[in-house]
Structures are given as structure tokens and as C-alpha cells.
Amino acid sequence: MTEQDPTPVDFVRQEVVADTDSSRYDGRVVTRFPPEPNGYLHIGHAKSICLNFGVAAEYSGTCNLRFDDTNPEKESVDYMKAIERDVQWLGFEWTKLRHASEYFEKLYGYAVELIRGGNAYVDSLSAEQIREYRGNLTEPGRESPDRLRSMEENLELFRRMRDGEFEDGAYVLRARIDMASGNINMRDPVLYRIRNIHHQRTGNLWNLYPMYDFTHCISDALEGITHSLCTLEFEDHRPLYDWILNQLDVPCHPQQIEFARLSLEYTVMSKRKLNLLVTEGHVSGWDDPRVPTIAGLRRAGFTPASIRGFCERIGVTKKDAWIEMGVLENVIRDDLNQNAPRAMAVLRPLKILIENYPEEQVEDLKLPNHPQKPELGTRKVPFGRTLFIEQDDFAEVPPPKFKRLIPGGEVRLRGAYVIRCEEVIRDSNGEINLLRCTYDADTLGRKPEGRKVKGVVHWVSEQHAVDGEIRLYDRLFSVPNPESMNDFREALNPDSLKVLDQCKLEPSLAKAVGGERYQFERTGYFCVDAIDSSEQKKVFNRTVTLRDSWGKTARGR
Ligand code: ATP
Ligand code: MG
């Protein structure tokens, strides 16, 4: 940074700049994003990704992607692949791809170093006893009888733990710190536990696995990380992070800095809860457009830029805060309003017949792809004698202020003519199945003389329409903070998905490919579902409504 640069926008960047200015770490900036591959990344991770990769990019540093793969029961290679894909999709490139499991041998060596220095011991207390001995916030802990075990015996037992001589839970390795510490994390925390289980990368090589607190600081140090950015719940672990590194001869002692995690209303974010939603079938998968995973947001139609923009907007602070879902929705709405081409799609079709329109005639109307961006060009939209309009755009008995079509009334078809409804035709069940209409041939792109037509509705020509399925997604939960409930699943919104499978799309949408985003005139922003769309049927997911109507009226229709 030069002196003319403005003050960095957040406290993390301020600390980084202070360190580079004072040549701490020789002015280097090295960060990492360290997910555990036990689920898909969510929007909270995006905050951490934008921060870690962003800081590295802004201060000529580097950023690693490191899988914290020390819990083989819950982790998988598939999750790793999904995580890599999501980080790249968000627009970031890691300098090195690392796995904590690559350091197992070195970590083991450091553990031996701790034992030799009298800083760790093998304990035979059970997990339950350890908890009991630990004490609590008001009472100090008690020392384990094994705390006095000789160094030789500790080394021998630790080697035998490695060699797979013991059952799970028979022993653990603990740091020898202070059972009376005011910080419970410092009361001889467990560093290694026995797990006779296969690891997705190291196979059956290891029968014991290091704990997070031991693995994380050493992995950071081995990678030469300068600033180890993590969320606030690790603030109480920082003394342990520093203690471990201070006992050992490591190449670097990173600075841990904690920031507030993202909490978003009307959703859940912990991977454990998301996993439950997936495995119990409340959603279709980790990429269901209703869940706040990166994969879900992508499938819903969010752009990488909108997610990065969201992270920038919420900023990085030291204080936990809840963010309204509307903030996220507004960012993608602004993005798509500016960038998504327009198209017409009728969600719930009502057929109209324009009796005085020549029978065989078809007119190719040219409609702009974007009203404010002529450079995006135009598209051909065929107009014919029978069309579909939205059921909601007609009312036999109109509510007050209804500006659309009524019996005997007029409305403008977007980009086309003014029509009048002459007669309502019903089927044998009494349902309206056709409106007989007439059109005013003089009104193509012109106002009719001597009368005012207020409403404009969208439409699709019957003969040219493409069949489509449209999925209207709404918030997954009906309360702002489902995590506060006894069982968060009780707050699931039963109407979070409506599937409309009789939709009629304008023919230009036949060539729309998976992931493409559109504004459907008057109905919202939609994205082609890359997985379920076929040649026969296009499937569109609603990304967001046109306006922020949520809370005032129902978000869906
Ligand atoms: P979860 O509780 O959702 O499983 P986690 O913290 O266990 O999340 P990790 O895979 O360990 O998930 O997280 C990788 C990184 O992402 C960590 O540095 C973590 O602090 C950060 N992170 C996770 N959730 C959030 C969040 N909601 N906001 C900001 N950062 C987050
Ligand atoms: Mg975790």
C-alpha cells in the first residue's frame, strides 16, 4: 500500500496493512481458506472466501485452499470436488491446493516434540471422564492421574496408538497446559484421538487422527500463512493456537484474526443442518435452489458477481449481526435487472382468440432484449390469431383498481396491439377456457385515438409457444431464525416450492441453455435449470421476484 491509498475498509485489512507497513512477516501476505470437506459450501463460506482471497489479491499476496480433512467419518472426495468447483465458480484461484492430511506425518512429529518437551501426555481417561475432570466456568478442572506419566512411557504409548494397537477411545494425547486456566480450551485439550478407520486420502495408514486445534495452527505455520482469518467462535481458541506454536520449532507463527460469521434470516447455514435437510428429503439435494449453498444459489440463478457484491456490501466486522434475506435478494435483483435479457413467458395460461385477426397471418414483431440497453439488440416474437395470456390478467369481476382485461374492456399486449374482450367462453365444468377478443389493427406500437388503455400484459402465441415448467421458489423457512427453534424442521415453509408445469414460453427461449438467466416480463427473474431441462421441456427456476414484495404480500403468486 502506498500512502495515498484510502484507509482499508475493515479491521482485518487494517491489521494486514499495519503488518505489511511494519514489515512483519517481511511484508508478505499469505492467507488460506480452510473448509472441512463434510458438506457443500454455503453463503457464509463465501464471506470467508471473499475475505481470504480478496485480502491476498489486494495486498499482492497468495491464498491457499486447504481441506481440513481430519475427520474421515464425515468427509468425502465428492465434497472436495464440489468445494473446488464452487470456489472457482465464485471467481477465485488458489495458489496451492493443500490437505491437512498431507501433514499427518509432520503433525505426528510435532506431537512427539511436545511429548519430549514435557508438553503433552497420553491419557487413558474416557471422553466422559475428561469432560467431568475439565470443570466449568466457575470451577477449575482436576488433573488426570496420567498427567504424571513419564516421557518415555508417553512416547511408547503414543507410538503404539499410531501402530493401531488400541481400540478407539482407549487413549488420547493431551496437551499439558493448565487445568485451572480461566479459558477452558487451555485445560489440557485433546490433541489426538484413536480412530481405527479408513481415510479418503491416506487409506489405512493412520489409526489416530489429530484434532482441529492441533492441526490447524501447524498447517497454517507449515504453509507460511501470515494472517489466519477465522470466525469469532475461535477467539477463545487463539491462546491455544499460539501456545502450540510457541512450544514448537515451526517455520512461521501466523496471526489469527477473528471476524463475525454471516447469519442470514429465514435459512439455516450449518452443514450439519443442511445435511439433515438433504438426507431427510426436505430439499432435492445440496444444490436445491432453496438452500443457501453456493451450488443452490447457482442453480437458482445467482451470478458469482452478485454473491461477491453481497459479501462486499455486508462487510467484515467484529460483531455478529443478522442479515435480512432481502439484502441478498436485492443484490441479485439489481444485477439481473441490469444484465438479464427480457423474454415473455405465461405461467398460468388462458387462451384468447382474436377473431378479426386474419386466420393464417403471423407477424414477426421485433421486441428489444433490454429496454434500457439497445446494444443488446432485439428478438423476433411471432404474433398470431390465438395467444395465451396470464389467467391473473383477466378478471370477470375485477377487484378495485384492476387495470388489465375485463369483459368488454381493453388492454395492450406488450409490444403488439390493443385487444378487447368480447365474450367469455366456458367449458362443460364452467371453467373459463377461452376469451373471444378483437384487436385494433391501428394500435401496433401506437396509442389508440380518443381512448385511454391503461394496462399492458404479456402474451405468447399459441402456435409458436414452447412448453415449459417453471419452479417458483420461496423462502425455505417461515421464521427469521429457524435455528432458535427446538427443532428447526418445524419451521419449514410448506409453500417454499410451487411447480407450474403448463407454462408457455416465447419461441426464442427454445434455444436457452442451462444456467442462462432472463427477466420474464412482469413475472420475475428466472434461470434455466441445467439439470432437469431437456429438449422436450425447458425448466426454469425463479431466482427472485421483480420487486421486493416479501413481507407485504405473499412473495409467490
Ligand atoms: P458449518 O458450521 O457451516 O459446518 P464450519 O465453520 O464448520 O461451518 P468449515 O468448513 O470449518 O465450516 O469452514 C471453513 C471456513 O469458513 C472457516 O474459516 C469458517 O470460519 C468459515 N465460515 C464458516 N461458516 C461461516 C459463516 N457463516 N460466515 C463466515 N465464515 C464462515
Ligand atoms: Mg467445521
Residue nearest to ligand 1 atom 3, measured at CA: 270
Mean pLDDT of the chain: 95
Q: Is 506 tagged catalytic?
A: no
Rounded to an integer, what distance in angstroms lies between the CA atom of residue 428 and that of residue 431?
7
User: Is 529 part of any domain?
Assistant: yes
DSSP 106: H
Which residues keep their CB under 5 angstroms from ion ligand 2?
36
Q: How many domains does the chain have?
A: 3
User: Is 108 part of any domain?
Assistant: yes
Q: Return the pLDDT at 536.
A: 85
User: Is 399 part of any domain?
Assistant: yes
Is the pLDDT reported for residue 555 higher than 50? no
Cα(273) to centroid(ligand 2), Å: 13
* C-alpha cell, 415: 409490444
Judge if 121 and 178 occupy the same domain.
yes
Which protein residues are within 6 Å of ligand 1, measured from CB?
34-36, 44-45, 47-48, 230-231, 261-262, 269-271
Q: Nearest ligand to the C-alpha of residue 42?
A: 1
Q: Is 538 tagged catalytic?
A: no
Q: Nearest ligand to the C-alpha of residue 273?
A: 1
Q: Return the pLDDT at 553.
A: 42
For ligand 1, pick from 40, 48, 258, 293 the residue to mutate: most ligand atoms within 8 Å of CB. Answer: 48
> How many other β-carbons are positioned within 10 Å of the β-carbon of residue 405?
27
**Residue 219, domain CATH:** 3.40.50.620
**Residue 388, domain CATH:** 2.40.240.10
User: Is 551 part of any domain?
Assistant: no
Judge if 195 and 126 occupy the same domain.
yes
Residue located via cell numbers 507463527: 253
> Residue 109's domain spans which residues?
11-259
Confidence at 448, pLDDT banded by 50, 70, 90:
confident
Judge if 434 and 379 occupy the same domain.
yes
For ligand 1, pick from 45, 71, 232, 265 the residue to mutate: most ligand atoms within 8 Å of CB. Answer: 45
Q: Judge whether 74 and 38 are in contact, CB under 8 Å.
A: yes
Q: Judge whether 555 and 484 are in contact, CB under 8 Å.
A: no
Ligand 1 atom closest to Cα of 261? Answer: 28
Cα(47) to centroid(ligand 1), Å: 9
Q: Judge whether 185 and 239 are in contact, CB under 8 Å.
A: yes
Judge if 323 and 368 occupy the same domain.
no
Confidence at 449, pLDDT banded by 50, 70, 90:
confident
Cα(36) to centroid(ligand 2), Å: 6
Q: pTM of the entire structure? A: 0.95
Rounded to an integer, what distance in angstroms lies between the CA atom of residue 311 and that of residue 318?
15
**Which of 435, 467, 499 delimits the end of a domain?**
467
Q: Is 537 tagged catalytic?
A: no
Judge if 218 and 277 occupy the same domain.
no
Q: Return the pLDDT at 557.
A: 36
**Which residue type, as a one-letter code, is found at position 432?**
I
Q: Which of 134, 195, 261, 436 is catalytic?
A: 261
Judge if 234 and 288 occupy the same domain.
no
Q: Return the pLDDT at 3.
A: 52
Q: Which of 15, 24, 36, 149 is catalytic?
A: 36
Q: Nearest ligand to the C-alpha of residue 228?
A: 1
Q: Which long-range contacts (CB under 8 A, 24 or more apart) does 86-89 make?
A: 86/40, 86/41, 86/293, 86/294, 86/295, 86/298, 87/33, 87/41, 87/49, 89/294, 89/298, 89/304
Q: Phi/psi class of residue 112: alpha, beta or left (left: φ > 0; alpha: ψ in -120 to 50)?
A: alpha
Judge if 336 and 435 occupy the same domain.
no
Residue nearest to ligand 1 atom 2, measured at CA: 270
User: Is 497 part of any domain?
Assistant: yes
Cα torsion 366, 371, 372, 373: sign:
negative
Cα(272) to centroid(ligand 2), Å: 10
Question: Which among 341, 371, 357 has a CA at the least distance from the CA of 441?
Answer: 357
Judge if 53 and 175 occupy the same domain.
yes
Q: Nearest ligand to the C-alpha of residue 231?
A: 1
For ligand 1, pick from 231, 235, 263, 328 the residue to mutate: most ligand atoms within 8 Å of CB. Answer: 231
pLDDT tens, 99-124?
999 999 999 999 999 999 999 999 99
Residue nearest to ligand 1 atom 29, measured at CA: 261
Q: Phi/psi class of residue 369: alpha, beta or left (left: φ > 0; alpha: ψ in -120 to 50)?
A: alpha
Question: Which among 411, 336, 417, 407 has a CA at the least distance from the CA of 384?
Answer: 417
pLDDT tens, 208-250?
999 999 999 999 999 999 999 999 999 999 999 999 999 999 9
Q: Nearest ligand to the C-alpha of residue 67?
A: 1
Judge if 23 and 155 occupy the same domain.
yes
User: Is 232 part of any domain?
Assistant: yes
Per-state percent for the chain, helix, strand, coil, to nearest 5? 30, 25, 40
pLDDT tens, 124-149?
999 999 999 999 999 999 999 999 99
Cα(64) to centroid(ligand 2), Å: 17
Q: Return the pLDDT at 450.
A: 86
Question: Which among 133, 151, 153, 152 has a CA at the least distance from the CA of 143?
Answer: 133
Rounded to an integer, what distance in angstroms lies between the CA atom of residue 217 and that of residue 189?
14
Cα(146) to centroid(ligand 2), Å: 30
User: Is 373 part of any domain?
Assistant: yes
pLDDT tens, 347-376?
999 999 999 999 999 999 999 999 999 999
Cα(108) to centroid(ligand 2), Å: 22
Percent of the chain exceeding pLDDT 70 equals 97
**Which of 467, 495, 529 delimits the end of a domain?**
467
> How many other β-carbons are positioned within 10 Å of the β-carbon of residue 533?
19
User: Is 124 part of any domain?
Assistant: yes
Judge if 214 and 139 occupy the same domain.
yes
**Which of 432, 447, 467 delimits the end of a domain?**
467
Residue nearest to ligand 1 atom 16, measured at CA: 45
Judge if 158 and 169 occupy the same domain.
yes
H and E: helices and strands count for the chain: 12, 27
Q: Which of 28, 193, 271, 471 is catalytic?
A: 271
Helix residue spans in 117-165 (DSSP H)? 127-134, 151-162
Ligand 1 atom closest to Cα of 269? Answer: 3
Judge if 333 and 349 occupy the same domain.
no
Cα(449) to centroid(ligand 1), Å: 63
Q: Return the pLDDT at 151.
A: 98
Q: Go through the chain and tell me how many residues it has.
A: 557
Ligand 1 atom closest to Cα of 47? Answer: 29
